[in-house]
Amino acid sequence: MIVLITGGAGFLGQRLARRLLELGTLAGPDRRPERIRRIVLADTAAATIEDPRVVSLTGDVADPDFVRSIVEPGTTSVFHLAAVVSGQAEADFDLGLRVNIDATRLLLEACRRLAAPPRFVFTSSVAVFGGPLPTPVPETWTLNPQNSYGTQKAIGELLVNDYSRKGFIDGRAVRLPTITVRPGRPNKAASSFASGIIREPLAGEIAHCPVPPETPIWVSSPRSAIEHLLQAHDAPASAFGTSRSLNTPGLSVTAGEMVATLERVAGRDVASRVRWEIDEAVASIVTRWPARLETVRAEAMGMKPEPDFESIVRAYIAGE
């Protein structure tokens, strides 16, 4: 197997690569586990993983020459994680189009030119949903994104579906929940606070929560998200039915419950470092996202959420 991960130097990309190295195999075209002999990590920055099976390639995923260079002959699996995140896609419309649509098309075209169609796992988002939403959101609910990131992810999903139907790739578009707790620093995602309100207080820093405490958020741990990407990769095409787009399991928690959990796990002093300061730009994006999704097909593929948010906080503390 030759595995390509775009956004491969990012938090999720490197974590996925490490998990693949640990596992050593992925389902091949006939669904039997096959040995991973090479992992290509493509990103704007170099990845930091040292392993003879890993190569790190730096460039712009919206540059046609770079995209052709990262899709090596014999590539069997692609995890397309590279994206401009929600807050940034909203602030820079053209950049969002370029990376979230144009780069995805370049990558799909490069895959189409491979001798055999690769498995292609595309990370989509719950931001494809919007407008008045029932709880939970059914699997057949319309795509009605209320921000540019969600629009661009929905377009990516549609392309992945059509390229799969045509037999150019064997695609899966996975609608990941908001991932928390991410290590490191805040990013430009509107959901960045969902990690910040746990991570910063634990590090002794003040965190600002830009949404009201009663705001529900659909979340997943990094560990679950990685497992779900791998399960989506390995599942047979037939498990997807007529749509390659998939809601994956998560937990529905409010910002207030997240901070209450932090207090329970780490104490009142830590939790008191969260300041509630509503940011209308962020809140107007986040409060339009769905709070809970139906995940019937994903569950049938064996995907499970974390048991509760406390497990997510404890796993983060244990891992850092």
d(CA 22, CA 42): 20
* Per-residue exposure over 246-266, b if at least 16 CB sit within 10 Å of its own CB, e if not: bbbbbbbbbbbbbbbbbbebb
Structure tokens of 213? 């405490």
- Residue environment code for 140-166, b if the CB has 16+ CB neighbours within 10 A, otherwise e: ebebebebbbbbbbbbbbebbbebbee
- Taken in order 285, 85, 226, 198, the sign of the CA dihedral is negative
Minimum separation from the CB atom of position 88 to its own copies (A): 15
Q: Which residue has tokens 């309100």?
A: 197
What does the DSSP 8-state code read for residue 137? B
Stretch touching its own copies by CB under 8 A, among 57-65, 79-87, 117-125, 161-169: 161-169
Task: With both helix axes pointing from N to C terminus, report the angle between 103-112 and 148-165 in degrees, rounded to the nearest 10.
Answer: 10
C-beta of 160 vs 207, nearer to its own copies: 160
Give me the least distance between CB of 129 and its own copies, in Å please.
Answer: 10
Nearer to its own copies, 152 or 191 (CB): 152
Which C-beta is closer to its own copies: that of 92 or that of 310?
A: 92
Say whether residue 238 binds its own copies (CB under 8 A).
no
Least Å distance between CB 118 and its own copies?
Answer: 18
List Cα–Cα distances, 93 to 87, 97, 101, 192, in angstroms.
Answer: 10, 6, 11, 19
Pick between residue 77 and residue 104 the one whose CB is nearest to its own copies.
Answer: 104
Q: Of 113, 166, 264, 275, which lies in the binding site for its own copies, with binding defined by CB under 8 A?
A: 166
Which span sits near its own copies by CB under 8 A: 150-158, 193-201, 294-302, 308-316?
150-158
CB of residue 135 to its own copies, shortest distance in Å: 14
Cα-flanking dihedrals φ and ψ of residue 201, to 5°? -60, -35
**Closer to its own copies at the Cβ: 132 or 204?**
132
- The Cα–Cα gap between 261 and 263 comes to 5
Q: Which is nearer to its own copies, 158 or 265 (CB)?
A: 158
Of 86, 283, 85, 310, the C-alpha closest to 198 is: 310
Site for its own copies in 83-102 (CB under 8 A): 93, 97
Judged by DSSP in three states, 116 sits in coil
Task: CB nearer to its own copies: give 162 or 257.
Answer: 162
CA–CA dist 111, 287 (Å, integer): 36
Total site size for its own copies, rule CB under 8 A: 28
Q: How far is the CB of 34 from its own copies (least distance, A)?
A: 30
Helix or strand (DSSP H, E) at 152: helix 148-165
Chain positions 105 to 144 lying near its own copies, rule: CB under 8 A, are 105, 130-132, 139-144
Among 25, 135, 243, 272, binds its own copies (CB under 8 A): 243
Closest CA to 219 of 195, 198, 197: 195
**One of 34, 60, 92, 162 touching its own copies (CB under 8 A):** 162
Minimum distance of its own copies from residue 158's CB (angstroms)? 5
To the query of whether residue 316 is one of the catalytic residues in this protein, the response is: no
For the CB of residue 306, give the shortest distance to its own copies in the complex, in Å.
Answer: 27
User: Catalytic: which of 120, 122, 149, 309?
Assistant: 149
Chain residues that interact with its own copies, rule: CB under 8 A:
93, 97, 105, 130-132, 139-148, 151, 154-155, 158-159, 161-162, 165-166, 241-243
* Catalytically annotated residues: 149
